[in-house]
Structure 1
Amino acid sequence: MNEIEVRELMPSEFEEWDQLVEKTQPGTPFHTSDWLEIYRDVLLRDIRIYGCFRNDDLVGGCPLFVKNIKGILKVASSICSMTDYCGPLISESSSSKASKKVQESHAILNSLREFLCMQGFDSIHLKFSPGFEDIRPFTWNGWDSKVHYTHHLDLKENVDNNISRTIRKDLKSASEAGLETRRWSDPETYYGLLSKVYERQNLKIPLPRDFFEKVFDLIRKKDIGYMLVSETPEGEAVAAHLTLYGKKSTISWSSARDPSFNLRGTNALLYYNEFLDLQSRDFEYMNVMAGNVPRFADFIMAFSPKLVPYYSVTLENKKYSALKILHKIVT
């Protein structure tokens, strides 16, 4: 098997990277150069896309956010604020033999792992997208691993047969109040709702207004998703979902509800109408990122989803581990 070369991609190679993202099943909008460049431009993040090449063909890679902490630590992570997963990608093997597929994928991942270990990072954290199942090239070489969960709502099934009695009551309440849903491309409305959620909890919103404006620009230009809002009869938006398109699926990226609007059913109405709309457009499932927070998981379970695991791996050197312990002691 030919040797794998790993190096940082030049901006002129980002189009080739995006083609790899499009071809691989675990590839998501979060992997694309357009999405990563929003973090670079708005948050001034140091973004690097490392590519794996075999005979000058791009066969894998991984985007990383790199950060220097007070000039002491150099850390790398495949995720950032409100991007819950990203991580390595590898091209699909053309072989029909399972052993050959494993051999090829492990060759790419081992080369990537060895390269990352030589970059002088004190900590490396990679969170793989759902569907990327084989992380053994990392765990077999001393990396710590962790399992996370998302929910897949099967859009090939009858939605009404799978919802709970509580959801039915919520839908009835929303209908009696005259709430309606519609698509709407307005970052100001979404940012306003999300701000209210964080203000109620006395927390700082994780991303600035400019970030959401650029996401909405990307949605309009590249047709990568949509916003669905729930409105009162007076036209006031009380809840919204920002959804991105995946492969044969959609990804529930972010949601917000006005905490001062006490009527039950706003979120239930959004999900229910969204399911029906996606079914009419032949999507296979909806990836609802609500499996790791108990109160969100309890709500979405009322729609009878499938629980799907996904994984992360972490490598920390002794300096990072020692400073992390010290920080816990003094805070």
Structure 2
Amino acid sequence: MSIRVEAAGPGARRRWDDWVARAAAAMPLHYLGPLRVLERATGATLYPLVGYRGEEPVGLFPAFVTRRGPLAHVTSPPEGHGVAALGPVLLPGGTTKQRTREHRHREFVGGCLDWLDDHVSPDAVTVRTTTGYDDVRPFVWAGFEATLDYTYLLDIDRDDEALLGGMSRSLRRTLRDADEFDCEIHEGGRPAARRIVRHAVERYADLGEPYYGASPSLVADLYRAAPAGSVRAYACTVDGRVEGGLVTFEHDETVTWWQGGAKPAVSIPVNDLVTWHVVRDARDRGYTRYDLFGAGSPRTADYKSQFGPRIDRVFNLRRTSGPYRAAEELYGRVPTRALGVVGW
């Protein structure tokens, strides 16, 4: 039985969140509420694609379409808004046969791309996968360029001593003395998420560095739209003032570092202490993995590797048309003040 792909109608949209909850590789932003928030924030058009085998869903692919002049660009996630991963996810099926699973996967991806070709005619398709979606061959076979990127995963279903034993000596010493630092770490709600991200924006500005994360208002809106408890905010305060923190995602067995973690302005090792708090809190609530979400630069790797994680991979997938590549080349040559003339 072949796979058919459709854009989710009213009935499928009512069931969408139940399907996301079954997909191990999904993240909270795959739920329909956050997808709608991203649609409004980006000005893109959302197409929540569903692949069916008969009447049984086998995969989900939230695709966002933006148009610049005559060119259409499909992205998942939308670019430039601090959402680093989204893309397709597969739902568990009844078969254990590798060949059958791979065949369904390839049909699902091919069906999604055919649907986009028929209904959007995209000049470019850009996808960044989640850590659980690690077989991108169907995209490569469909003509996509796959670029490898990395993240760190920390297995957290261990006691404190086992976790500390895998960390660097200096970090271990810091965390053993955590009670000596004059700060308070607590989980807050939506206002805390907004304040943590605002602090990160301010710190990047103070340091003269560009900020590429999500805006405070977008984080607050996504926090409100996501299922309760799937986005959490952990703030570190010193004398009542927020001096750092993390906003995290939770899905299946994994907690993920999402926003925050800027270099603190105080001498307290805020990021070390908040990360340790998040790891232990997640473990105590039954989660087994912590995704430090990013290991692609030397500076990031130097810091995050001290927690003793293992390396994992994610993929950037891209396919472009000739006109789109020509427009990109023109975009690179045209002065910024003239870009509005060509619709960019």
The TM-score normalised by the length of structure 2 is 0.87
The residue aligned with 2:76 is 78
**How far apart are the structure 2 equivalents of 1:142 and 1:40?**
27
Q: Which one-letter code corresponds to 1:244 in the other structure? A: F
1:1-331 aligned at under 5 Å gives the runs 2-69=1-68, 71-80=69-78, 81-118=81-118, 119-157=120-158, 158-171=162-175, 175-185=179-189, 186=191, 187-200=193-206, 201=208, 203=210, 207-218=214-225, 222-232=228-238, 234-257=239-262, 259-261=264-266, 263-330=267-334
* Deviations 1:68-95 (CA, angstroms, capped at 9, x unpaired): 11x1311010012221111112222311
5+ long unaligned stretches in structure 1: none
* Deviations 1:283-309 (CA, angstroms, capped at 9, x unpaired): 111111121233222111001101101
Please provide the CA RMSD for this pair: 2.2
Q: 3-state SS of the aligned residue for 1:222?
A: coil
Identity among equivalent positions (%) equals: 18
Could you tell me whether the CA contact under 8 Å between 2:181 and 2:268 is conserved in 1?
no
State the Cα distance separating 1:319 from its structure 2 match.
0.3
Q: 3-state SS of the aligned residue for 1:211?
A: helix
State the Cα distance separating 1:204 from its structure 2 match.
6.1
Instruction: Go from structure 1 to structure 2 and tell me whether the alpha carbon gap of 1:142 and 1:217 turns closer, same or farther (over 3 Å shift).
Output: closer
State the Cα distance separating 1:259 from its structure 2 match.
4.3
Deviates most, 159-168 or 4-13: 4-13
Instruction: Go from structure 1 to structure 2 and tell me whether the alpha carbon gap of 1:24 and 1:177 turns closer, same or farther (over 3 Å shift).
Output: closer
Q: 3-state SS of the aligned residue for 1:193?
A: helix
5+ long unaligned stretches in structure 2: 336-344
Q: Which one-letter code corresponds to 2:290 in the other structure? A: M
Q: Which one-letter code corresponds to 2:199 in the other structure? A: L
Instruction: Go from structure 1 to structure 2 and tell me whether the alpha carbon gap of 1:298 and 1:143 turns closer, same or farther (over 3 Å shift).
Output: same
**How far apart are the structure 2 equivalents of 1:206 and 1:182?**
22
Q: Which one-letter code corresponds to 1:90 in the other structure? A: L
Instruction: Go from structure 1 to structure 2 and tell me whether the alpha carbon gap of 1:100 and 1:188 turns closer, same or farther (over 3 Å shift).
Output: closer
Instruction: Go from structure 1 to structure 2 and tell me whether the alpha carbon gap of 1:198 and 1:12 turns closer, same or farther (over 3 Å shift).
Output: farther
Q: Which one-letter code corresponds to 1:32 in the other structure? A: Y
* Deviations 1:43-87 (CA, angstroms, capped at 9, x unpaired): 433222112222233222311121111x13110100122211111
What is the aligned residue count?
A: 326
Q: 3-state SS of the aligned residue for 1:26?
A: coil
The residue aligned with 2:338 is none
Instruction: Go from structure 1 to structure 2 and tell me whether the alpha carbon gap of 1:4 and 1:97 turns closer, same or farther (over 3 Å shift).
Output: closer
